[in-house]
Amino acid sequence: MTTASVPGFAPSRHALRFTNAFPPAPAVTLDLGPAGVLGIGDASNGLCGGMVLAVRDLFEAGLTPPEADQPPAAGSPLFRYLVRRLIDSWDVPGGVLRYLRWMLTPDGDAGVGPFAVHGVAHMTILEQLPHVRAEIDEGRLCPLGLVTQHSADVGRLGRNHQVLAYGYALDGDLLTLSVYDPNTSLAGADDVRITLSVAGPHRATPVRHNVNLPEPVRGFFISRYRPPGSGALAGGLGG
């Protein structure tokens, strides 16, 4: 068995102490002056990408997570920080287009010759997993976009999810990732796993997991990470 993990990291110690369960509120508000305030988005749809990047931000800065055990109120510094990092996690436009491409891709390889198309299993196992393992081998937390949808409906983009990989174990052909899941409470945070066989990348490959999601995971890719500015981090998460 081959194993690796980011030294010192454990979700129960380093993750945010609340789950991704925000009450209805605009995720972003725009002050239009005399025309009033415009609300965009709804926090109750989730801020998982912002939470994932915030946890990596905190860990790499050596900061203790905020003590709050309930989601921050709309408009608070922490809420605004999570929204900013959520938008960063989308990596517009490339990141959004990537989700759409994966949503449109079949689970296994399809077609022949010039019409051949690599499936989600191939893209996950051969294109993404080597880089996920390399990031963890180098001691870096690795944000992942989990693709749960198989649809051309852009309205279902928000039903995908984001987690943070911090360890892996390869036992023969069975690969298990240890991840921080913003939807899972601290009580079970250290026990969240994603498991799949890497033996058949050209055919549909089931992904087993206990991420707190209502739908199956089809595959996953590394989400782009860029560190925040030092001032933004101190203002939103420091303390």
Instruction: Output the pLDDT for position 231.
Output: 65
Q: Count the Cβ atoms, other than its own, within 10 Å of residue 188.
A: 13
Instruction: Output the pLDDT for position 114.
Output: 73
Instruction: Output the pLDDT for position 29.
Output: 47
Instruction: Output the pLDDT for position 101.
Output: 95
Give every residue of the chain whose pLDDT is below 70, as ranges.
Answer: 23-44, 230-239
DSSP letters spanning the chain: -EEEE-TT--HHHHS-SS-S-PPS--SEEEE-GGG-EEEES-GGG--HHHHHHHHHHHHHHTPPPPS--SPPPTTSHHHHHHHHHHHHHHTTTHHHHHHHHHHHS-SS-B--GGG-B--HHHIIIIIIHHHHHHHHHTT--EEEEEE---SS-GGGGGGSEEEEEEEEEEETTEEEEEEE-TTS-GGGGGG-EEEEE-S-TTS---BEE-SS-SS-B-EEEEPP--PPPHHHHHHHT--
- For 5-37, write each residue's pLDDT tens digit: 999 999 999 999 999 998 665 455 444 455 454
Question: Which amino acid appears at position 79 of this protein?
Answer: F
Instruction: Output the pLDDT for position 39.
Output: 41
- The C-alpha torsion from 23 through 95 and 212 to 105, rounded to 10°, is 130
Instruction: Output the pLDDT for position 234.
Output: 61
Q: What is the DSSP letter of 15?
A: S
